[in-house]
Amino acid sequence: MSARILPPTPDAIAQAVALLRAGQLVGMPTETVYGLAADASDAEAVARIFAAKGRPNDHPVIVHVAAGADLSRWAASMPDAARRLMDAFWPGPLTLILPRAAGVLDAVTGGQDTVGLRCPSHPAAQALLAAFGGGLAAPSANRFGRVSPTTAAHVADEFGDAVPLVLDGGPCEVGIESTIVDVSTPVPILLRPGHVSALALSEALGGAVLTRAQVDAQRSVPRVSGSLSAHYAPRTPLRLVDAGRLADEVAAETARGRSVGVWSRQNPGGAACWLEAPADPERYAQALYATLRDLDGKGVDVLLFEQPPAAPAWTAVRDRLGRAAVGSGQA
C-alpha cells in the first residue's frame, strides 16, 4: 500500500491536522524539499520520524513554525542576529539555530542546548502550520543518507504506507535544503549552504558570517547530519568530472563494458543516457534531486556529472553533489 497524495485543499489540510494531532506523520511540501512532519511537542510522533527514516536518534530535527508564531515557546532568547535574519528571509529557505527554550523535547534537539527553527514560505506548508497551531518537526522526507524528495510522488515512493498522507504542493521551487545559520554563537556560523547565500546573509547581518569550513577544524562531533560526508546519495556510483574530461571518461567507461548516465551542459556523446544540465545555479538546484533519482533509475552502471563552476553562486549545489558522490554506489 502507498500513501494518499492529496492537493492541499482545506479538506486535505484538515485531514492532515487530524493525523498530526493523532501522532501520525504527514508529507509536507516546502519551497526547499518535502518534509516528513510530526507534532514537535509529541515525543512518540517525533520517534516515528526517526523510525521511518532509519535516522540515528541523536540527530536534531528542525521545528517548522507558522509566520508570526510565538517563538518563545521554542527559543530561550532571540539574539539580534536572529532578528535581522528573520526580518530579511522569513518566511523562506533559512533555518536558524537558537538557544532552546525549557520544554523543547530532547528528541527534537538531539539533546543539544539549541533548537533549529524555520518558517517555510510554501503556501501549503503555511496553511498546514496555521491550521495545526503548533510547531512541526520535519526533516527532509527521505530515508537516511538518501536523495531528498522534491515531489509528492518521491515521498510516497520512499515510505509507502508508513506515511498515511502526503500533501501535494507541486515540485519544490528551490530544490535543495534550507540554508542553516547558527545564531546561538557570538559570531553567526553558516552550517549548511543553500539558496540564501553567505553574501546575502552577511549583507542582512551587516557583518561577517563564519563558514563551516572555518569552524569544522575546531569541532569533532557532526552537529548537522548534512555534514556527514556521505549524503543525498544515489545507489548507482556517481563521479564528478570536469567538462573537458567528460568525453574521455565516458569513452573509458564504455570501453570497460560499463553503461554510463551523464548530466552535463553539452552532450559528450557515447553515453547510454544523457540529460541536459541547466546553466544557471538556481535552475540546476531545482532539478538536482529529481535528476539524481531519475538517472539512478535508468539501470546504468555509473553516473558521470559535470562538475559545476567554482563560483560562489554554485556553492550549495557543489556541497550536495560532493556528498552525493561520496555516498553513492551503496545499493
- The residues binding ligand TXA (CB under 6 A) are 30, 32-33, 35, 59-62, 95, 97, 109, 112, 114-116, 118, 120, 138-140, 177-178, 180, 223-226
Binding mask 94-133 for Mg ion (x = CB under 5 A): ----------------------------------------
Q: Does 118 count as an annotated binding residue?
A: yes
Q: Of 245, 248, 221, which Cα lies nearest the Cα of 111? A: 221
- Contact segment (CB under 5 A) with Mg ion among 85-93, 115-123, 138-146, 293-301 equals 138-146
Helices 281-296 and 152-159 sit at what angle, rounded to 10 degrees? 30
Q: Which is nearer to ligand TXA, 117 or 295 (CB)?
A: 117
Asked whether residue 256 is marked as a ligand-binding residue, the answer is: no
Angle between helices 281-296 and 315-327 (to 10 degrees): 20
Q: How far is the CB of 169 from ligand TXA (least distance, A)?
A: 12
Say whether residue 307 binds Mg ion (CB under 5 A).
no
Contact of residue 94 among Mg ion, ligand TXA, none (CB under 5-8 Å per partner type)? none
Closest CB 225 distance from ligand TXA, rounded Å? 4
Residue whose C-alpha is closest to residue 121's, from 25, 28, 12: 28
Q: Which is nearer to Mg ion, 114 or 140 (CB)?
A: 140
Q: Which is nearer to ligand TXA, 189 or 304 (CB)?
A: 189
Residue 235 C-beta: closest distance to ligand TXA, Å = 19
d(CA 157, CA 140): 14
| Minimum distance, C-beta of residue 268 to ligand TXA, in the bound complex (Å) | 33
Q: State the nearest-atom distance from the C-beta of 137 to Mg ion, in Å.
A: 13
Helix axes 10-21, 123-132, angle to 10 degrees: 50
Could you give the CA distance from residue 111 to residue 118 in angstroms, rounded to a whole number? 19
Q: Residue 240: how many CA atoms within 13 Å on its side-chain side?
A: 15
Please report, to the nearest 10 degrees, the dihedral formed by the alpha carbons of residues 94, 99, 103, 109 taken in order. Answer: 60
Give the residue from 87, 84, 93 showing the smallest Cα distance to 62.
Answer: 93
Nearer to ligand TXA, 97 or 127 (CB): 97
Q: Which is nearer to ligand TXA, 109 or 315 (CB)?
A: 109
> Does the annotation list 259 as a binding residue?
no
| Residue tagged 527521505 (cell numbers) | 142
Residue 76 CB coordination number (10 Å): 15
- Beta bridge partners of residue 118, listed in sequence order: 64, 95
- Which of positions 311-330 make contact with Mg ion (CB under 5 A)? none
Residue of the chain from 41, 126, 140, 328 that contacts Mg ion (CB under 5 A)? 140
- Shortest separation between residue 226's beta carbon and Mg ion, angstroms: 7
- H or E, element range at 295: helix 281-296
Q: Min. distance of Cβ 224 from ligand TXA in angstroms?
A: 4
Q: Which residue minimizes CB distance to Mg ion?
A: 140
To the question of whether residue 289 is assigned a binding role by annotation, the answer is no
Q: What is the DSSP letter of 82?
A: H
Nearer CB in complex with ligand TXA: 225/307: 225
E strands present in 91-178? 94-99, 114-118, 136-137, 165-167
Amino acid in position 215? V
CA nearest to 150, candidates 166, 171, 179: 171
Binding site, annotated residues for ATP: 55, 114, 118, 140, 148, 192, 232
- Interface positions with Mg ion (CB under 5 A): 140
Q: Cite the annotated binding site by residue number.
A: 32, 55, 64, 114, 118, 138, 140, 148, 178, 192, 232
